[in-house]
Amino acid sequence: MSVKENLTKVKSQIKESVTLVAVSKFHPTSAILEAYNEGQRIFGESRVQELQLKAKELPEDVRWHFIGHLQTNKVKAVVPLVEMIHAVDSERLLLEINSAAAKANKVVSCLLQIHIAKEETKYGFAFDECKRLVANIDLLQLTNVRIVGLMGMATLTEDDQQIRDEFRSLRVFMAELKSECMAHIDYFSELSIGMSDDFQLAIEEGSTMVRIGSTIFGTREY
């Protein structure tokens, strides 16, 4: 199937209210253009150099989302190019993004990445760490970042119930954060959960934003 057909199929499976991030990492600009010509504008990339090259080649109105782990020393390169950063997992990174965005004279939407899966990983806040961050720093003082929500990845498992439980725990947690952080209506309203293998479960559990790669573009060759 072509990118065009895959995209049409995916779109028919997600609700209108759910934002589709077409994850184009490792795929050529020609594939991105195919999706672009079908009206898709939001694309997700996870490597800095690849994003820089693609942003240069593709139309200005592409809305790039950086979805991978971002090192603080790469923030300056990424911030001018993107609308949203999905995997903010430290206070230091958040502060770097804020200052780079101030220099670039823009506001970058950010999602705090929470570690919900059973697999060990260095990335993502634990629930209590995230709570501490939100309690301890005045997010509204960071004028060039907007903390629009949370992002998470479920365990790689065949057990749908486990995946649901993990997604649900994130939704419940975000509701808690939102009630404690009444200051700004835009804050903590997006839930970036769901990838090719689990986006339908994620939508049933309250996803507002799905990040779908291989189902649209085919398998990646690393």
Ligand X SMILES: *Cc1c(COP(=O)(O)O)cnc(C)c1O
Q: Which residues bind ligand X (CB under 6 A)?
A: 23, 25, 46, 67-68, 195-197, 211-215
Pick between residue 46 and residue 208 the one whose CB is nearest to ligand X.
Answer: 46
Choose between 10 and 101: whose C-beta lies nearer to ligand X.
10
Smallest distance from ligand X to CB 186, Å: 22
User: In this structure, how many other beta carbons lie within 10 angstroms of the beta carbon of residue 138?
Assistant: 8
> Hunting for tokens 């991978």 — which residue is that?
68
Least gap, CB of 45 to ligand X (angstroms) = 9
**Minimum distance from CB of 25 to ligand X (Å)?**
6
Q: From the CA atom positions of the chain, what is the Rg in Å?
A: 17
Q: How far is the CB of 65 from ligand X (least distance, A)?
A: 10
Taking every pair of Cα atoms in the chain, the longest distance, rounded to a whole number of angstroms, is 50
Q: Which residue type, as a one-letter code, is found at position 86?
A: H
CB atoms within 10 A of CB 180: 12
- Residue (149 or 213) nearer to ligand X, CB: 213
Residue 70 vs 145, nearer CB to ligand X: 70
CB-closest chain residue to ligand X: 213
Sign of CA dihedral 183, 126, 156, 167: negative
Closest CA to 176 of 129, 143, 133, 127: 127
In the complex, minimum distance from the CB of residue 212 to ligand X, in angstroms, rounded to a whole number: 5
β strands within the chain, DSSP E:
19-23, 42-45, 63-66, 82-88, 108-114, 145-152, 190-192, 209-212
- Which CB sits closer to ligand X, 98 or 215? 215
Tokens 């291989």 correspond to 214
Q: What is the helix (H) or strand (E) element at residue 175, kind and residue range?
A: helix 160-180
| Nearest residue (CB) to ligand X, 52 versus 214 | 214
Distance CA 85, CA 79 (A): 8
Shortest approach of ligand X to residue 128 CB, angstroms? 23
